[in-house]
Chain A
C-alpha cells in the first residue's frame, strides 16, 4: 500500500528538498500552501511597475511542478488573524509570530490530512535555521500543540529528532533522512545539486512580510492609531505599497511611489478619499483615517504635492475625491522638503 504524505510547501528550497527525500522513498506526496495575506509572494512584484516586464512566478507552484505533485493553496486570511494578533509564544525580532504560525499551519495540515485520508505530514524545518521557531526545543512544541504529534516528520533534520510514526512503522527509512542543523545553507545546496534542482528561490528573511522591519513598523502604527489590532486583508495589502506618512493621529497618507503603485492604489478610490495632482505629473495618495477638516486637507494636499513634479512650483492643483461626494479641486503650495517632519514618515 502506497503511503501518502502532505508536505507544507512554502516555495523555498527546504520544503522542496524535504518533499523530494520522501518521494524518493516511494511515498506519494501532495503539497499544501497557505495564503495568510502577509506572503511575500506575488503581490508586490505584481504591483510594482518595473517588475511588470519580468513577471514573477509563484514559488510554491514552481516547487510543486519541480516535484511533480499536486498543490492545494488554502486561504487562511481570516483564521490567521488570531495568530498575528495574539501569539501565545510572542513575536520574533519584528511582528513575526513564527512559532505560533508554524503550530497553526501544522494544525491545519493535520486537519487536511484527516479529511483527505493521508498518513503523515512533512515540513522543511531545520533545527537552528532561524532564531526562535526553529530551535531544538521548539520542535516538540510544534508537534504537540498542533496536535500532529508523531505524524509530523521533518526529513531534513529527522536524524537529530526522536523517531516519528512513519519511521517507526517502517513507511520511511530513517537512514535515508538527514541530520541538517545550524545556520549553514551548504548541506541544502549540496542536496539540491544532487537532486538536480536549480533556480530555486532563496528568500533572505522569512517567508512573509511580518519578518520585515519596515512592514512591522507600519502594522504597529496601524494598530496604535486605531486603538485595536483588528485588520482586514485590504489593510495589510496596503501596507505593502507606497510611502506611508502620518502627519497627525487622525490620518495617514499612502502615496504611490511609481506608476504601478498608482494603478494599484487607484483601485481603492471607491473605498477611500484620494488626492491626485492634476496641474503636474504626480502620484495618487489615499487618505486613511477620519474625515479631514479644511486645514488637515490642505496639509494632506501640500504633502502630496511635494511628491509631484510640481514640488518647486508656487501653486499646484490637486483633485480631492471622496467616494460619497463630488470631487473638487484644491490649490496649494507644496511643502518644502524640510517641512515634512521626520516623525511623520512611518516608512
Chain B
C-alpha cells in the first residue's frame, strides 16, 4: 500500500478544510489515500459531501478530542456527471 498523505486543516473554518483536501487530492494519483484532520465541526458534513459529489471515498472517519479525522481515497475513475 502506498503511504498516506497528511493534510492538517486544524483551526481552519469552512470551506477551507475542504479546499485544502481538494487541492491535495488534485495532486495525487487515482487511488491515493489522504488523511485530513480538522477542528471545524462543519467538516463532519462538508468533507463527506465533497467526497460524494466528486466520487472520492471516505474510508474512515472519527472524532477525537474535538478533532475530526477522515481517511479519504481518491477516485480511481473520473466521475462523470452527465447532467
On chain B, the residues within 8 Å of A46 by CB distance are 13-14, 40-42
- How many angstroms between the C-alpha atoms of A46 and B80 in the bound complex? 32
Shortest beta-carbon distance, A234 to chain B, in Å? 11
- How many angstroms between the C-alpha atoms of A64 and B55 in the bound complex? 13
Residues A61 and B79 in contact, CB atoms below 8 Å apart = no
- Interface flags for B15-59 (1: CB within 8 Å of A; 0: not) read 110110010000000000000000011101110011011100000
Residues A68 and B15 in contact, CB atoms below 8 Å apart = no
- How many angstroms between the C-alpha atoms of A165 and B49 in the bound complex? 34
- Interface flags for A26-61 (1: CB within 8 Å of B; 0: not) read 111110010100010111011100001001111011
Known: A43-B13, A58-B14. A35 touches B19 (CB 8 A): yes
Known: A42-B14, A73-B22. A61 touches B46 (CB 8 A): yes
Residues A73 and B15 in contact, CB atoms below 8 Å apart = yes
On chain B, the residues within 8 Å of A33 by CB distance are 15
**Interface: A267 (CB within 8 A):** yes
Selected from B13, B53, B81, B82, the residue in CB contact (under 8 A) with A61 is B53
Residues B15 and A45 in contact, CB atoms below 8 Å apart = no
- How many angstroms between the C-alpha atoms of A267 and B45 in the bound complex? 23
Residues A57 and B83 in contact, CB atoms below 8 Å apart = no
- How many angstroms between the C-alpha atoms of A71 and B51 in the bound complex? 10
Chain B: how many interface residues by the 8 Å CB criterion?
A: 24
Residues A61 and B41 in contact, CB atoms below 8 Å apart = no
Residues B18 and A73 in contact, CB atoms below 8 Å apart = yes
Majority SS at the chain A contact face: mixed
Residues B53 and A55 in contact, CB atoms below 8 Å apart = no
On chain B, the residues within 8 Å of A35 by CB distance are 15-16, 19
- How many angstroms between the C-alpha atoms of A41 and B46 in the bound complex? 11
A-B Cβ contacts below 8 A, count: 90
Query: Max chain B CB contacts within 10 Å: which of A29, A41, A62, A73?
Result: A73
**Interface: A70 (CB within 8 A):** yes
User: Which A residues between 217 and 252 are near B, CB-CB below 8 angstroms?
Assistant: 237
Nearest neighbor of B14 in chain A, beta-carbon distance: A42
On chain A, the residues within 8 Å of B49 by CB distance are 57-58, 61-62, 65
Nearest neighbor of B20 in chain A, beta-carbon distance: A75
Residues A69 and B81 in contact, CB atoms below 8 Å apart = yes
Residues A70 and B79 in contact, CB atoms below 8 Å apart = yes
Selected from B45, B79, B82, B83, the residue in CB contact (under 8 A) with A58 is B45
Selected from B18, B46, B81, the residue in CB contact (under 8 A) with A68 is B81
**Interface: A72 (CB within 8 A):** yes
**Interface: A94 (CB within 8 A):** no
**Interface: A23 (CB within 8 A):** yes
Shortest beta-carbon distance, A287 to chain B, in Å? 20
Known: A61-B46, A69-B53. A55 touches B41 (CB 8 A): yes
On chain A, the residues within 8 Å of B42 by CB distance are 42, 45-46, 55-58
Residues A47 and B13 in contact, CB atoms below 8 Å apart = yes
- Interface flags for A1-38 (1: CB within 8 Å of B; 0: not) read 01000000000000000000001001111100101000
Residues B19 and A42 in contact, CB atoms below 8 Å apart = no
Residues A73 and B19 in contact, CB atoms below 8 Å apart = yes
Selected from B15, B44, B52, the residue in CB contact (under 8 A) with A41 is B15
- How many angstroms between the C-alpha atoms of A84 and B3 in the bound complex? 42
Those 9 A-B pairs whose CB atoms lie nearest each other, nearest first? A42-B14, A23-B83, A43-B13, A61-B49, A28-B83, A58-B46, A46-B42, A57-B45, A46-B40
Pairs across A and B, CB under 8 Å, 10 listed: A28-B82, A41-B15, A56-B14, A56-B45, A57-B49, A61-B18, A61-B53, A65-B52, A65-B53, A70-B53
Residues of B within 8 A of A (CB): 11, 13-16, 18-19, 22, 40-42, 44-46, 49-50, 52-54, 79-83
* Apart from the given pairs A58-B14, A58-B15, 17 other A-B contacts in the complex at a CB distance below 8 Å: A23-B83, A28-B83, A45-B14, A46-B14, A52-B41, A55-B44, A56-B14, A56-B42, A57-B46, A58-B18, A61-B50, A64-B53, A65-B53, A68-B53, A68-B81, A70-B53, A75-B19
